[in-house]
Amino acid sequence: MLELLIKRRSIRKFKSDKIEADKLQTLIQAALLSPSSRNIRPWEFIVVENKETLYKLSKVKKHGSSFIKEAPLAIVILGDPNKSDVWIEDTSIAGIIIQLTAEKLGLGSCWVQIRNREHHLDYSAEKYIQKLLEIPEYFKITAVIAIGYPAEEKEPYDIAKLPYEKVKMETFTRKYSGGLK
């Protein structure tokens, strides 16, 4: 698992190759296996492969979403706040499960934050997607995950350069002395 985390990077350039049906099935199953508080499963997912819809999704924000149009696949992650008060946490967990599964399958991915983001001054990114994908208003949208075969290569993380100073032991004032020797 640590190897997977070291290797996984946000990919924003994709090849045009379609994602195979078995890999899409695996991504969907992984999303549905995501843990949730009290197993309530307040999340829902919209799988988008249509190029025109992907292009429209790429316009959801002024910055940080344009690469969606190049991805052969996007998964929109929704939460139902009527089902759970921790829908944000549950949908976020589902998002990272999708991203880690994509990495394991040889696919790249990138998270596009939607919650609390603007489409333009008086219109939220969430409202834009709700209208585009015919989502009822009571659902909240956490993110869009763009997925595809990477058309860029990024260096894996260097485990020796992790910010170990962010880890404390027992109390906030006791530094973690582990890491690489």
Report how far Cα 120 is from the mean position of its chain's Cα atoms. 22
Confidence (pTM): 0.94
pLDDT at site 91: 98
Q: Does residue 56 belong to any structural domain of this protein?
A: yes
Q: Does residue 114 belong to any structural domain of this protein?
A: yes
Q: What is the pLDDT of the chain when averaged over all its residues?
A: 95
Band of pLDDT at residue 179, cut at 50, 70 and 90: low
Q: Is the pLDDT of residue 168 over 50?
A: yes
CA proximity to 95, closest of 15, 37, 27 = 27
Q: What residues make up the domain containing 42?
A: 2-156
Report how far Cα 112 is from the mean position of its chain's Cα atoms. 7
CA–CA distance, 48 with 133 (Å, rounded to integer):
9
**In total, how many domains does the chain have?**
1
Q: Does residue 87 belong to any structural domain of this protein?
A: yes
Q: Does residue 104 belong to any structural domain of this protein?
A: yes
Q: Does residue 59 belong to any structural domain of this protein?
A: yes
pLDDT digits (tens, 9 = 90+) for 29-59: 999 999 999 999 999 999 999 999 999 999 9
Q: Does residue 122 belong to any structural domain of this protein?
A: yes
Q: Does residue 175 belong to any structural domain of this protein?
A: no
pLDDT digits (tens, 9 = 90+) for 75-121: 999 999 999 999 999 999 999 999 999 999 999 999 999 998 888 87
Q: Does residue 50 belong to any structural domain of this protein?
A: yes
CATH number where 74 lies: 3.40.109.10
